[in-house]
Amino acid sequence: MPENSVVVNLNQFERSRRAQVSADTLSVLHGCRDLLIEGATRVLTRQAEAMEKTLLAMAERSPLLETRNSYYSAQGILNRQANELLSACKEAFCQAFNDFAHNREKTAGGDLLELSLVDDHDFEVTLAIDKATSRLRFNCAEELVALDARMAHLLGRSDLAENDNPLGPRALCEALLDGIAKMQPEQNVRIVLLNQFDLVLTTELAGIYQSLNRHLIDRGILPDIKVGAKSRGQAGAAAQPGAPGTPAQAQASNDMFRMFEQLAHGSNPAGPAAPGLAGFSLLDSLGQLQSGSMMLPGGVRFELPVLEAATISNVLRSLQQSPVMQAVSPLDAVLVDAVAMLFDVVFEEAAIPDRLKAQIGRLQIPVLKAAMLDRNFFSQANHPVRRMLDAIATLSVHLPDNETGNARLEAISHVITGVLDSFEQDIAVFESAAAELEAMGSSLDETLEETLEASLQPDIAQIRQAERAELAPVIVHDFINRALKEQTVADSVREFLRRDWAQLLTQDYVKEGEQGAHFNSHVETMRELIWSVQPKADMDARLMLVRILPGLLKRLREGTAEIELPQKLADRFFATLVVLHANAVRPNTQPVPLPDISPEEIEDMIPAAAAEPAAPAAAEPAVPEVEDEYTQRARALNKGDWVEFHYDDGTFRWARLGWISSIKNTYLFSDQDGMNSFSIGLHRLAEKLRRGEAVLVERKSITESAFGKLMKLFRQKLGYA
């Protein structure tokens, strides 16, 4: 820009006018930097092996060679260079953070004085970072509201855009990608690794940001900030609900409590207080009701229906019909209605067995009391009470109808009894219960995974062998054709390879596959045989033939013995081979004539049983290969997903997907204990989904689903929808 220009580059101006941070501020910033990157790399190190397994599974299922290679390359980097990779990511983040702290941020687009096209590779990288950033920001929405405000205060700014926070998800994702790039993998491999890092951090980053906020609070940086006071949609007021990067669910939960207040102020659902109930406090009396009954003013005893372990009953509906509700505040009445609706939705959830719903039902009064004590219950997806309910629901898949399932149900009941006995006002009771149930679920998942890894191996080997048997004729034919391509070979050799040696290759392929040692050895023997009968014009080639011939003949005889080639046919072939080798090394162009043999003679030498093809095994009735939403649902299944299969007699069972064949799209399922397994093809599974004979079991948060339905119901009450 000319020296006498009056045009000011606003980016440069903003950086130049910002004051240098003080030494104390810089010390706090460095502490935050270290907490974030150390926490993130510690999580990634701990999950490195899990990421490797995920990448291998994705590679096995990918139909495209290029995509498979990307997954394998990413897995190889994690396997051999994980420490080096994470050190590079850590170094990249620290460098970027230090540049920010010392006013050395990189500019976005240089001087922004000209437009240029973005190539496809840059666009893919930008898109990958945007997606990763949006996912992390959504899952850490509560924590980032406070962190953005504290960082703005620390840096002396009035506000800080969400992508300008040097500790935010955007800065972290860009640094991770820069660190990955230092390992010099191809761009698609970088994106694969970034996606894996993002998926791992999605569940862990919120806890790291919580520690960052505590670190800043301990140093006096906005200790009294009200988390959630800043509008989540402030960064983009025009953004639609559910748009990428918009924490729509967290916003919906906050909106829900505002709806409760509107309903309470707009009407008086409790009605006039009953005589003698003035000053009555529902919250104070819920402790008594939790034990079975409460005393009303005047000595009247009120009891709820008895909750037994085998019954499902929404006792909060009984509470709403009782005289108690005549004395509660309008807001408390709305809260009782909301929690009652929550349990209505949970009890309607088809994926939860009735005997587990009965256990969840025992928690109705404690959950109501917790919701009245801590209204974050309605705004925090990871609230301890909600975590406990979700943890119980996810254990549904581990409750087979047998002695093992009964023992697990008893363990769940024991945890719930502990909450009923000990909960008064400390929400931490739910925290420890949720942690115990989550640990139980993780342990059962790991045990089931280990059981399946061992028990499914014979089935997987059998399916793979059956699939290879179907493909073997095509594969072997292709290998032989490529070996013979543009080669001048006697008809007797061609006939031997296509008729006899093909049997050996087929056996090898069915047993071991294309990478098997025997298959590759016999392919190499075939290539040596073809080379050995070619004319040898120079002395080096002739000497080479003399060196390899004993071993070649030995391998050929072993191969013909393995397929039990009739002795007369084998003798005839090796006699012909002697002549072919002699002709190959003759210096003149007059070859020795080959012994004649008619097709009829060859047929006489081959046993009748070998000449007749085996009768094909009876196959299942063909299923139309329809491509629709049900086929897509079947394709989208991943290892570990659960499906509920329904049968004509009205029974059903849950089955866990343990393996997917990459060749024929065969799905291998096992039962809830991993003891029994069965396989099913892609299109047959899609047909069952289409008919309702199979239903996908979504292991999602029941409280999140319930609050979504709750939100809709209350919006309808207020006339919003």
- In the chain (721 residues long), the average pLDDT of successive 10-residue segments reads 48 47 83 92 89 84 79 91 92 91 56 47 80 80 86 84 88 94 90 89 87 89 61 35 41 59 58 48 72 63 60 79 74 84 84 85 89 81 88 84 85 90 87 90 80 76 83 89 86 90 92 89 92 87 89 92 89 89 74 54 49 46 78 87 84 82 84 77 90 80 76 69 50
Length of the chain counted residue by residue = 721
Give the separation between CA 25 and CA 29, rounded to whole angstroms: 6
Element spanning 25, H or E? helix 23-46
Residues 376 and 256 both lie in one domain: yes
Domain boundary among 230, 258, 292: 230
Q: Residue 199, exposed/middle/buried by CB under 10 A (0-12, 13-18, 19+)? A: middle
Cβ contact 397:699 at 8 Å: yes
**Residues of the domain holding 695:** 629-699
Amino acid identity at 200: V
DSSP 8-state secondary structure symbol assigned to residue 522: H
Examine residue 597 and state whether it is found in any structural domain, yes or no.
yes
Examine residue 621 and state whether it is found in any structural domain, yes or no.
no
At 583 the pLDDT is 86
Residues 573 and 690 both lie in one domain: no
Q: Residue 478, exposed/middle/buried by CB under 10 A (0-12, 13-18, 19+)? A: exposed
**HEC letters along 612-651:** CCCCCCCCCCCCCCCCCHHHHHHHCCCCCCEEEEECCCCC
Give the separation between CA 508 and CA 511, rounded to whole angstroms: 5
Examine residue 144 and state whether it is found in any structural domain, yes or no.
yes
Q: What residues are paired with 11 via a beta bridge?
A: none
DSSP 8-state secondary structure symbol assigned to residue 607: -
Residues 141 and 218 both lie in one domain: yes
Examine residue 530 and state whether it is found in any structural domain, yes or no.
yes
Residues 552 and 471 both lie in one domain: yes
At 178 the pLDDT is 94
Residues 305 and 367 both lie in one domain: yes
Q: Residue 533, exposed/middle/buried by CB under 10 A (0-12, 13-18, 19+)? A: buried
Residue 83 makes CB contacts below 8 A (sequence gap 6+) with 45
Residues 445 and 516 both lie in one domain: no
At 597 the pLDDT is 53
Residues 311 and 395 both lie in one domain: yes
Residues 639 and 654 both lie in one domain: yes
As given in the structure block, the two tokens for residue 554 are 């030995």
Q: What residues are paired with 656 via a beta bridge?
A: 642, 670
Residues 503 and 390 both lie in one domain: no
As given in the structure block, the two tokens for residue 192 are 């694969």
Give the separation between CA 544 and CA 556, rounded to whole angstroms: 18
Nearest partner of 305 among 297, 385, 314, judged by Cα: 314
Examine residue 3 and state whether it is found in any structural domain, yes or no.
no
Query: Which three-class secondary structure state does DSSP give residue 335?
Result: helix
Q: Where are the alpha helices (DSSP H) in 325-456?
A: 330-348, 354-361, 364-373, 384-394, 403-422, 428-455
DSSP 8-state secondary structure symbol assigned to residue 2: -
At 674 the pLDDT is 67
At 581 the pLDDT is 87
Amino acid identity at 6: V
Residue 687 makes CB contacts below 8 A (sequence gap 6+) with 623, 624, 626, 630
Element spanning 686, H or E? helix 682-691
Domain boundary among 607, 639, 655: 607
At 197 the pLDDT is 92
CA 447, 452, 457, 458 torsion-angle sign: positive
* Residue at token pair 């200790």: 223
Residue 653, domain CATH? 2.30.30.140
At 92 the pLDDT is 94
Nearest partner of 390 among 338, 429, 451, 349, judged by Cα: 349
Element spanning 679, H or E? strand 677-681
Residues 295 and 441 both lie in one domain: yes
DSSP 8-state secondary structure symbol assigned to residue 234: G
Residues 42 and 150 both lie in one domain: yes
Examine residue 235 and state whether it is found in any structural domain, yes or no.
no
Task: Tally the domains of the chain.
Answer: 4
Query: Taking the model in full, what pTM does it have?
Result: 0.45
Examine residue 615 and state whether it is found in any structural domain, yes or no.
no
Residues 518 and 388 both lie in one domain: no
Query: Which three-class secondary structure state does DSSP give residue 469?
Result: helix
Examine residue 257 and state whether it is found in any structural domain, yes or no.
yes
Nearest partner of 164 among 182, 188, 144, judged by Cα: 144
